[in-house]
Amino acid sequence: MNNEKVTMQFNILAVDDIEANVIILDELLKKFSTDDIHVNVFTALSGKEGLKIALKENIQLVILDIQMPGMNGFEVAKFLKMNPKTKDILIIFLTAAFKKEEFINHGYEIGAIDYFTKPIEKFLFSNKIKLYLNLFKKEQKLKEEIEKRIVSERMLAEQSKHAAMGEMIGNIAHQWRQPLSSINSIVNDLELEILLDELEFVKSDRILETGTEIRSFTQHLSKTIDDFRDYLRTDREKEDFNIYTIIKESLVFIMHGYKNHNISINENYDETNICMVNGFKRDLVQVILNLLNNAKDALAEKEIQHPEVEISIKHDNEILHLSIEDNAGGVPENIKDRIFDPYFTTKHKSIGTGIGLYMSKKIIISNFQGNLFLKNTKKGAKFTVEFPYKSNG
């Protein structure tokens, strides 16, 4: 790491048509150089020469004689203030004697910050120059801080962008696990039938059914990509849909995995009472799939002998309560309050990312103006999704 101290450069232009005055100013000003700021003095013997130097060099302060032949100090100052490159240069006027008030005011109107009289009173001059140097140092430090902050904010923006990309990839991976697992299970069953020489006894409609299942899963995987791409759009439009069609669609995707683990599903709701929900249909499918997958994983991990999941719907004051309850014994109390935190998971990284419940709750709150919460019952964990609905039945 480089700890070498950086010396600031402060450029002063002294303009006077009398060479002796310029020499005196040069000697006085160079004495203000210190370890942290170097005072570099440019000199000119006419207004035009001074103007050329100011346009060429990076000047911070001009000490400008007013009464000069050709172009006087007022005219030089006026040109400096009109030019975008030099308009911010500090201007101090030099005068042999104070004139009337109008004369002084004219200088301030042009843009001067101070006046010095000739001959220069060294103590007053020294204090004023030190003041301007200190102001310059503070301004430079402030600029450095601002630049550092801008760089830091850019870095944070990049990190945030990478984090958001990582979160999206994690979300996609999370939602792909169940369909991929189902496809893998179906293929394993077919391979087993081939190994046992039982495939020839399988009817053609069995093969067609298997193909339909796999096609359904692959379509879901493809649609998942579209879903997460849509999350980046601001013009998505909500739609009305029947909650029961979404439940049925979700059950198709998990049925094979539930069957392999001998998990029974009890549906406790009345489909004749049509419940219309307004929101993003695919988002709700992802939430239901996540809750069903979590229930399956809990039942399989604890090796429940008669595993079952109950899906129920109740209505209360135009609020729909969709519950998914397992009989795996519930969520341990020491982690119950953390399960909706991002990246919190009790599963191995090959099974879970810790973003499923976090994203599910975020979806329900943001896109359905509802809520998702957990309650441990006598049987196990009961997740309930609440949001507004419209009854058409």
Report, as an integer, the average pLDDT of 298-323: 90
> 8-120, superfamily in CATH?
Response regulator (3.40.50.2300)
Tens digit of each residue's pLDDT (9 = 90 or more) over 274-287: 788 888 887 888 88
Q: Does domain 237-393 have CATH number 3.30.565.10?
A: yes
Asked if residue 213 has pLDDT above 80, the reply is no
Residues 348-363 have a mean pLDDT of 62
At residue 264 the predicted structure's pLDDT band, cuts being 50, 70 and 90, is very high
Across 46-60, average pLDDT: 93
User: Whole-model pTM?
Assistant: 0.46
Helix 19-30, helix 122-195: angle, nearest 10: 50
Average pLDDT over residues 377-387: 93
Residue-level pLDDT at 333: 87
Domains of the chain, residue spans: 8-120, 153-235, 237-393
Q: pLDDT tens across 66-93, in order?
A: 889 989 999 999 999 999 899 989 999 8
Find, among 116, 70, 109, the residue nearest to 95 by Cα: 116
Considering only CA atoms, which of 14, 8, 11 is closest in space to residue 27? 14
Query: Per-residue confidence at 351, pLDDT binned at 50, 70, 90?
Result: very low
* pLDDT at residue 235 in the model: 62
Tell me how far apart the alpha carbons of residues 355 and 171 are, in angstroms, rounded to a whole number.
7
Given this model, what pLDDT does residue 7 score? Answer: 77
Extended strands (E) in the chain? 8-15, 37-44, 61-65, 90-95, 114-117, 239-242, 264-268, 275-279, 308-316, 319-326, 371-376, 381-388, 390-391
Question: CA torsion sign, 364 to 370 to 375 to 378?
Answer: negative
277 in Cβ contact with 239 (< 8 Å): no
Distance (Å, whole) CA 296 – CA 294: 5
Is a pLDDT exceeding 70 seen at residue 131?
yes
- Round to whole Å and give the CA distance between 29 and 23: 10
Query: What CA–CA distance (Å, rounded) separates 48 from 76?
Result: 8
d(CA 132, CA 37): 12
Q: Residue 34 half-sphere exposure, CB side, CA atoms within 13 Å? A: 7
Over range 114-127, report the average pLDDT: 83
In the block, tokens 């489909």 appear at: 271
Q: Are 210 and 192 in contact (CB under 8 A)?
A: no
Summarize the confidence of residues 198-224 as an average pLDDT: 64
